[in-house]
Amino acid sequence: MAGPISIPNLRQHDVLRLSHLTRDDVLALFKTARAMKADPSKFSEALKGRSIAMLFEKPSLRTRVSFEVGIHRLGAQAVYLDHSETRLGERETVADYGHNLERWVDAIVARVYKQTVLEEMAAASKVPVVNALSDLFHPCQALADFMTLQEKRTELKGLRLAYVGDGNNVCHSLMELGAILGAHVTALTPAGRDPTASVLEECRAIGAKTGSQLKVTHDLADIAGHDAVYTDVWVSMGQGSETDRIRKLFKPFQVNAALMKKAAAGTKQTPLFMHCLPAHRGSEVTDEVIDSPASIVFDQAENRMHAQMALLLHMLRD
Ligand code: CP
Ligand code: NVA
């Protein structure tokens, strides 16, 4: 196997967020992911003999299965570590945990409550750490999402993506990758649920170099003229439950047929509907939208595996 071109910014590099990658890095990664999707058998021994730890402090369907199956398809071994009962740092320090793992495995994939825990583990461990979702970012999700958009719309530069709902981890990673790729991202959030100001500022600094425009607004009229509409749960894992107060605050931001129609104003093609899943049907999205022909949510889910396989390959191959 000749193998894909090298991406130095990924080689043995932590992926706690995406800000260290360039547009060319990401496009090269997507190229590898497309090759893997087209013919996975060509990569079946690409990481033969390697082991990857997968530790989860929170529940998961897509991330766990897509990583575990993807690692197997690369010829490597996944070791699942359930941290839903004992949080990282409780039984021993996060640094000691990292020092142990680095003696056995080639990489650590971690879903944690706090980005700072990932940073601590990455600082302590010699093997690279991948963020499988934290309070601040969900980089693997954004990679799969833009890979899916590229499949559906080809050109990512100038693409207009509307994110509707909570200014959360998924919103942050979409803004970050949108900025890297030169896409325009509009975050439509209820008052008080804006993306984190420091993250927005960092994304805007990236976007200033690529021509990406990032807008945060509370005005739903700004939904007009987008190529895709994306939403996520109103309350993220570890942040409580969907109370009546939350439902009242977010209800105008529900992605329903009327909102999708407004998004289509001035566009040539029907806007796509996207969601990282799991979806709370009847809350942030209605059945008629998520089950419509415009919905690409299961393509996004599938591409989690291809994008992550490409990521691990570029990080770990010799
Ligand atoms: N989208 C996503 O990360 O799904 P899981 O929480 O099921 O992994
Ligand atoms: N924002 C959601 C994403 C789930 C994949 C959460 O953090 O729970």
Cα of 307 from ligand 1 centre, angstroms:
14
Is residue 62 lining ligand 1, measured as CB closer than 6 Å? yes
pLDDT digit string (tens) for 297-312? 999 999 999 999 999 9
Cα of 183 from ligand 2 centre, angstroms:
22
pLDDT at 102 over 70: yes
Active site residue 308: no
pLDDT band at 318 (very low <50, low <70, confident <90, very high): confident
Global confidence as pTM: 0.98
Given the CA of residue 141, which atom of ligand 2 is nearest to it? 5
259-276 average pLDDT score: 97
Rounded-to-integer distance, Cα 226 and Cα 187, Å: 12
Task: Return the CATH superfamily for domain 141-300.
Answer: Aspartate/ornithine carbamoyltransferase (3.40.50.1370)
Q: What's at 188, amino acid-wise?
A: L
Active site residue 91: no
pLDDT at 26 over 70: yes
pLDDT digit string (tens) for 120-173? 999 999 999 999 999 999 999 999 999 999 999 989 999 999 999 999 999 999
CATH of 23-137+304-316, one of 3.40.190.10, 3.90.226.10, 3.40.50.1370, 3.40.462.10: 3.40.50.1370
CATH topology identical between 23-137+304-316 and 141-300: yes
Is residue 277 lining ligand 1, measured as CB closer than 6 Å? yes
Contact 229, 272 (CB under 8 A): yes
Residue 270: DSSP 8-state: P
Is residue 276 lining ligand 2, measured as CB closer than 6 Å? yes
Active site residue 99: no
pLDDT at 1 over 70: no
pLDDT digit string (tens) for 197-227? 999 999 999 999 999 999 999 999 999 999 9
Q: Domain residue spans in the chain?
A: 23-137+304-316, 141-300
CA 59 vs CA 65, 125, 285, 308: distances in Å: 12, 24, 21, 18
Is residue 27 lining ligand 2, measured as CB closer than 6 Å? no
Which residue's C-alpha comes closest to atom 4 of ligand 1? Answer: 62
Cα of 60 from ligand 1 centre, angstroms:
5
Rounded-to-integer distance, Cα 303 and Cα 312, Å: 14
Rounded-to-integer distance, Cα 83 and Cα 278, Å: 20
